[in-house]
Each structure stands twice: as C-alpha cells, then as structure tokens.
Amino acid sequence: MAKELFGTDGIRGVAGEAPLDPATVYALGVSLGREAASGHPQPEIVIGTDTRESGKWLAELVAGGLAAGGARVRFAGVTTTPAVAYLTRSGPFAAGVMISASHNPYRDNGIKIFDHSGFKLPDAEEHRIEQEIFRLRESPLAIQPLALEADAGLDREYLAFLESAAAVRFDGLHLALDCGNGAAYRLGPELFTRLGARVTAFAAEPNGQNINLNCGATHVEPLRDVVIEARADCGVAFDGDADRAIFVSSRGKILDGDAVLLAAARALRARGKLAGDLVVATVMSNLGLERALEADGIRMLRTPVGDKYVLEEMVRTGAALGGEQSGHVIFREHATTGDGLLTAVKMFGISQSFAYDLERMTADLKIYPQKLVNVKVREKKELTEVPAVAREIRAVEAAFAGTGRVLVRFSGTEPLARVMVEGPDLERVEQFTDLIAAAIRKEMGA
C-alpha cells in the first residue's frame, strides 16, 4: 500500500507547488474534515504553524477545507509540533494539524496530522486520506480559505504542561538557547525563565525566511560559540518546529539524540522508571549507543527512521523511552511525539538532580565513525531488484563480519538514496560508503 503524498513525517514539499499547491492542500482539509465529522457531530480541529512565511496561508487553506468538510477550527498560531500533539490529546479536538517542514529551509513547508490520541496518523489512514484527496481533485474545487486569528490561551496550556513536567527548578542555572528562528522563539525563553534559569537566547527573531538559517538543531556550531563565550552551564538548539533538541555542554561538546537517550535511560533506570530495561531507537542511532546500553544491561530495539515508528514500537513493547539520533526524544510518561522543549526540561532536570553535567553522564559513549552520503536517484526501487548494488552491500557486510553496520534507505520526502556505513575504522567506513554510493549512482543515479 504505497503512499504518494505522505512521507515519513506527513506531506512535505515547496510551498505553493505540488503536493502543497492550493487545490491539494484544500482537498486535504476537506478530506480530514469529513473523516472527523463521520465520528463526531461538528468536530473541532486545532491548527498550528511554525514561523515560515507560507505557514499562515497554508493553514487558512486547510482550515477552509476543514470547514467545508464539516469541522470547526481553532488556531494556535505560531507554536511547536509537540504543542499541537499535546493540545490534540488533552483538549476537545478530534485531530490536530501542524504546518511545518521541521528542519528544512523556509521555502519548504509541510502538513503533519495527529489524531485525538496525539499520535501521528497510521499509514493506513494516511493512505485513505490520500485516496479521498485524489477523488476530490478529479473535479474543480471551489477553494475558500478561512481567515484565522490565533488563540493565545492554547500556548498557555502547553507551557503549563511543560512546567508540570519539570522535576526541579533551574534557579541559578545559566542556559543558552538557540531557537532556530522557529516555533520555539517565544516559548523557549519564557519557559526556562519561568523555571528560574538565566537565559541567553538567540536566533529568536523570525522574519519568515530565516528559520533554520545557519542556526538551530542542524547547525549547532553557533550555539557552541555562545555557550563558551557566555560561560553558560549548558546550551540547547531546537529545530524549526521544536520537536528535536541538540545539546552543547559547558565545555563545548555537542551531545546529540544518542547521548540524550543514554543519559535519560540511566536516569530513568536509577529511579525504577525504565520499563523493561528497554530503549527504542532507529536504524540511524550509532552502534556506540547500543554497546553502551548493552554494558548497562539495557536492550535497544531499532525501528525505521521517523519518531512515529519509534512511538509505535514503544507502545507495542511498553517502553518508556525512545528517540532518534537527530534529537527527537519521546518520554512516554509525558508525550506522544518528540518534543525539544520537554527534552530540554527533562535533561536539565536530570543534570540538576544527579549533580552531573550531560557530558560527564555520557563520557563513556564511544561514537563509532559513521559516514552518510546522499545520492540523487531517478527512481526508488527495491535494492534486491538492483543486483550490482545488493552485491556491493553484501560484500561490505561480509568485510565487517559483525563489527559494523550498513544502512541504505530512500528518503521519504526527496529523490535520494541515503547510504550510511558505520564501523570502528574511519578509513574503511569512508571506503565502503563510497563503493556503495558509486554502485547506486551507476545503476540508479539521476
């Protein structure tokens, strides 16, 4: 059951172009509104956006479609993806819609949908909505956007939830926040100031076009400079919709999602809250994390990339903690999605409670050399159907003999094959990555 519009994290593309053209976006609203109305009389749906200049008009197209489909809309304005997930599951909403392309450049945008439980839609439901969109597109649509005004009270509810999740206050702690000129630009500084920290915030002046621009969770070097210059106790960088967080220690060491998972797993286990001594990660997490957890007697399960797949496995196994190397971390006690602000609250709280900084808590995490190469492809085929590529992958796996990993997957949002090789020796890792990438380029390259 292949999906054509939805990727690993909703629908994503260049704003104004297919699949984010006005007719398709409006049809999505109609389809979702009808689906919600089939189970609820006059269902209410919450919508949020990040700071991209295209966010408001895309939200108004979705809202117009929802109204045409029989749903009412409340607009949270500029807010985070996890805020929409939280509001959807804690409020009277049949569904939630977030307009964001996460860490992508400002010209891109996307649509993520949550059901009433706060979970991202399962693949089967996304496929059903797609089919309805295609059916609606067969005849001309009378597109009628719905003007939206933000309800500030929704942000207050989310901030109160985050404050309640903090085990301790942060009085005396000096924190540097890189808000990525994105959805956390107001909420981040306000949250940590309310919790007692002294906050040095930057990249907190969005103009619609500077989201993720040389800042945020995918560009952590500016945060490292600020942490060192300001002599902050710790720093955290959020991406455009603040569903991920990357940390920088007081000495300038960058700590990604794998380091967060290790520190959080140890803290939860010490408190008897790591259900089943189990952590869920994705195929992208470093082999070093798996080895460090293993040494502590903690199992690690891997899923495909995407925090929705991490969450599905957490629910299936009863795991309390899961996440991605990219900084999406799910604390199941509190949330149904990766939440950068919540992750920061929990990690700063852990370092306060244990009197260790995050770098010291993860000092034994050995990061195996890892190389990732993206190859543009003209089509996405099963690798078993491309013998030359499959043969190269098997040869590399045999050479590693269990000491390394090979992962080749297609991007869910772009015409790319992603080749990742990981092992104890950097030279071999680079050599093997290049060999596999060359085979893909020759057989499938654009």
Enumerate the active-site residues.
102
The SS3 of residue 406 is strand
How far is residue 350's CA from residue 262's CA, in Å, rounded to a whole number? Answer: 12
Of 3, 27, 9, 26, the C-alpha closest to 120 is 9
Structure-token match 């993520």, residue found:
112
DSSP summary character for residue 75 = E
Q: Are 307 and 335 in contact (CB under 8 A)?
A: no
DSSP string across 90-153? HSS-SEEEEE--TTS-TTEEEEEEEETTSPBPPHHHHHHHHHHHHHHHTS------------TH
Structure-token match 């996304």, residue found:
126
For the chain, the residue count is: 446
Q: Are 354 and 361 in contact (CB under 8 A)?
A: yes
Structure-token match 């990040």, residue found:
50
Is the previous residue joined to 43 through a cis bond, with omega within 30 degrees of 0? no
Of 297, 51, 86, the C-alpha closest to 184 is 51
Measured in whole angstroms, the distance separating CA 35 from the mean position of its chain's CA atoms is 26
H helical segments located in 355-425: 358-361, 387-400
Structure tokens given for 235: 């720093």
Q: N- to C-terminal Cα distance for the chain?
A: 25
Going from the C-alpha of 29 to that of each of 39, 93, 272, the distances in angstroms are 16, 15, 44
Q: Are 367 and 373 in contact (CB under 8 A)?
A: no
Strands 108-115 and 254-255: unpaired
Name residue 333's amino acid.
E
